[in-house]
Chains A and B, each alone.
Chain A
Amino acid sequence: GDSVTQMEGPVTLSEEACLTINCTYTATGYPSLFWYVQYPGEGLQLLLKATKADDKGSNKGFEATYRKETTSFHLEKGSVQVSDSAVYFCALSVTTQGGSEKLVFGKGTKLTVNP
């Protein structure tokens, strides 16, 4: 079935370090792909998305490219800040047999950035 596998955490970095969180997926058809971020005690917020192969989503210095050939959507940032400390979820949108859409999430990767 449809699934998302993302890099296990936790990840600890120093401020201004480079970040990569790996995400690969299994899906039938052509899903849309998303990265969500969750700050402590809160719900999820959309960070970026890509709806077709080779699309690049970007927001707040984060980027991810939809790679159909490797079924991947890795999250990258060139220089992280303390305020980026959060849990990051990779997700894909699939269409059910009934025609509805639902999101399938990875397990999340906790990022801690130290000053």
Chain B
Amino acid sequence: DGGITQSPKYLFRKEGQNVTLSCEQNLNHDAMYWYRQDPGQGLRLIYYSQIVNDFQKGDIAEGYSVSREKKESFPLTVTSAQKNPTAFYLCASSRWTGRTEAFFGQGTRLTVV
């Protein structure tokens, strides 16, 4: 079945450490996105990518980095520069053309300990 896979589902990180969240899709979608979800704040866009080797900052990119070396993969690194990284992170993908819906992964809950 086609879909988006995020791993791991739960992740714990010590302060000062970088951590990378995985996102893989087999839907042949060109566009991929990372969102952060906090209680009462909805979803906020971190980074997005429309094609391989190209990506743009979203509304809250500071303290995060991404890469898009393959169409299927869009990993997100939460760096030590991110002041408040504890959150639920959602990856999504969509087709390049048209105003089509996004498909979401199951999310990764990151907790800084």
Instruction: Please list the residues of chain A having a beta carbon within 8 angstroms of any beta carbon in chain B.
Output: 31-32, 34, 36, 41-46, 49, 51, 89, 93, 96, 98, 100-108
Within 8 A of A (CB), among B14-38: 31, 33, 35
Residues from chain A with a CB closer than 8 A to the CB of B103 are 46
Instruction: Please list the residues of chain B having a beta carbon within 8 angstroms of any beta carbon in chain A.
Output: 4, 6, 31, 33, 35, 40-43, 45, 48, 50, 56, 58, 90, 92, 94, 96, 99, 101-107
Residues from chain B with a CB closer than 8 A to the CB of A108 are 42-43
Q: Count contacts between A and B, CB distance < 8 Å.
A: 58
Which single residue of chain B is at the shortest CB-CB distance from A42?
Answer: B106
B50, B101, B107 pick with most chain A CB within 10 angstroms: B101
Asked, given contacts A31-B99, A105-B42, A105-B43, whether A100 binds B104 with beta carbons under 8 Å apart, the answer is no
Contact of B104 among A31, A44, A49, A51 (CB under 8 A): A44
Q: By the criterion CB–CB under 8 Å, are A46 and B101 in contact?
A: yes
Q: By the criterion CB–CB under 8 Å, are B99 and A100 in contact?
A: no
Residues from chain A with a CB closer than 8 A to the CB of B31 are 100-101
Asked, given contacts A42-B106, A42-B107, whether A34 binds B101 with beta carbons under 8 Å apart, the answer is yes
Q: By the criterion CB–CB under 8 Å, are B104 and A102 in contact?
A: no
In the complex, A80 Cα to B45 Cα: how many Å?
Answer: 31
Contact of A51 among B33, B43, B99 (CB under 8 A): B99
Residues from chain B with a CB closer than 8 A to the CB of A107 are 40-42
Q: By the criterion CB–CB under 8 Å, are A100 and B48 in contact?
A: yes
Residues from chain A with a CB closer than 8 A to the CB of B40 are 107
In the complex, A95 Cα to B56 Cα: how many Å?
Answer: 13
Minimum CB–CB distance from B93 to chain A (whole Å) comes to: 11
Residues from chain B with a CB closer than 8 A to the CB of A104 are 45
In the complex, A43 Cα to B50 Cα: how many Å?
Answer: 21
Residues from chain B with a CB closer than 8 A to the CB of A46 are 101-103
Residues from chain B with a CB closer than 8 A to the CB of A51 are 99
